[in-house]
């Protein structure tokens, strides 16, 4: 069976992000990009599934040439081949998901793993949208996954417990921390990755329905106020919490 895993190339969370001169995109200069951490979990689950039932895993990423770094990391972890859908223009999640769905269909993949969220734009929706465009079943934010014959059993964390879901192939699964422990790329894997192919093609274009009009940095924290050091400060504290902070 063909298994696909969709991966995003995102700024390292330790990077100090600056807003670009246009006020609506990030300034990419000096930004270190990495494979999205949730997508490492998706790759691990795809590889574990292949090791159990056989088949082939393809990693698909939409973006510019720099996304090849994350595809190479996936190949070094053990993914069989990669596809770069080339586009460096802004895409909303719908346009992204439509292009991914088209490629997944062309690949004939019946099982598709996504991370639950890309840690840059945080929409947490691409997997679910792609499932809808493909007409596949979908379980999101999975912390457990098994596939027996055609039947998938997946677990999701909910408030105070776990939910156990069953569905059938074809399906999209979005992965959450706790599902597995992603493997490190071994030296053998890194060497083997050099012989694996990354197919490059222009990403299919679709209309965007959402446009980013501005990006803003969070306001800096205000200095704290010291109202006093004994009980006499309490009335003023209560007044400020009510009238200024409006939290009581």
Ligand X SMILES: Cc1cc2nc3c(=O)[nH]c(=O)nc-3n(C[C@H](O)[C@H](O)[C@H](O)COP(=O)(O)OP(=O)(O)OC[C@H]3O[C@@H](n4cnc5c(N)ncnc54)[C@H](O)[C@@H]3O)c2cc1C
- Chain residues that interact with ligand X, rule: CB under 6 A: 6-8, 25, 36, 38-39, 42, 60-63, 87-93, 96, 100, 114-115, 117-118, 120-127, 212
Distance CA 33, CA 57 (A): 23
Per DSSP bridges, beta strands 171-175 and 9-11 are unpaired
First to last CA, the chain: 57
Question: CB–CB of 45/179 below 8 Å?
Answer: yes
What's the burial of 153, exposed, middle or buried (CB within 10 Å: 0-12/13-18/19+)? middle
Smallest gap from residue 80 Cβ to ligand X (A): 17
Smallest gap from residue 58 Cβ to ligand X (A): 12
Q: Which is nearer to ligand X, 150 or 197 (CB)?
A: 197
Q: Which is nearer to ligand X, 157 or 240 (CB)?
A: 157
Minimal CB distance to ligand X: which residue? 115
Q: Which is nearer to ligand X, 124 or 240 (CB)?
A: 124
Smallest gap from residue 186 Cβ to ligand X (A): 23
CA-wise closest residue to 173 among 43, 21, 53:
43
Smallest gap from residue 124 Cβ to ligand X (A): 5
Length of the chain: 248
Q: Which is nearer to ligand X, 8 or 107 (CB)?
A: 8
């Amino acid at each position: 069976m063909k298994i696909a895993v969709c991966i995003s190339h995102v700024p390292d969370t330790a990077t100090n992000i600056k807003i670009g001169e246009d006020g609506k995109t990030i300034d990419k200069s000096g930004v270190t990009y990495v494979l999205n951490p949730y997508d490492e979990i998706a790759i691990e689950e795809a590889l574990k599934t292949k090791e159990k039932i056989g088949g082939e895993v393809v990693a698909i990423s939409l973006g510019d040439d720099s996304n090849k770094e994350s595809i190479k990391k996936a190949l070094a972890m053990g993914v069989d081949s990669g596809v770069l859908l080339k586009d460096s223009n802004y895409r909303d999640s719908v346009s992204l998901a439509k292009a991914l769905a088209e490629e997944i269909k062309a690949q004939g993949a019946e099982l598709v793993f996504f991370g639950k969220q890309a840690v840059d734009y945080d929409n947490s929706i691409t997997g679910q949208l792609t499932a809808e465009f493909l007409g596949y079943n979908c379980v999101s934010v999975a912390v457990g996954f098994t596939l027996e014959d055609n039947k998938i059993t997946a677990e999701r964390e909910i408030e105070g417990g776990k939910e156990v879901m069953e569905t059938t192939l074809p399906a999209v699964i979005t992965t959450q921390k706790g599902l597995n422990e992603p493997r490190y790329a071994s030296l053998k894997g890194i060497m083997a990755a050099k012989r694996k192919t990354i197919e490059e093609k222009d990403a299919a274009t679709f209309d965007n329905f959402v446009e980013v009009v501005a990006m803003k940095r969070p306001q800096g924290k205000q200095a704290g106020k010291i109202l006093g050091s004994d009980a006499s400060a309490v009335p003023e504290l209560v007044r400020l919490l009510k009238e200024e902070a409006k939290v009581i």
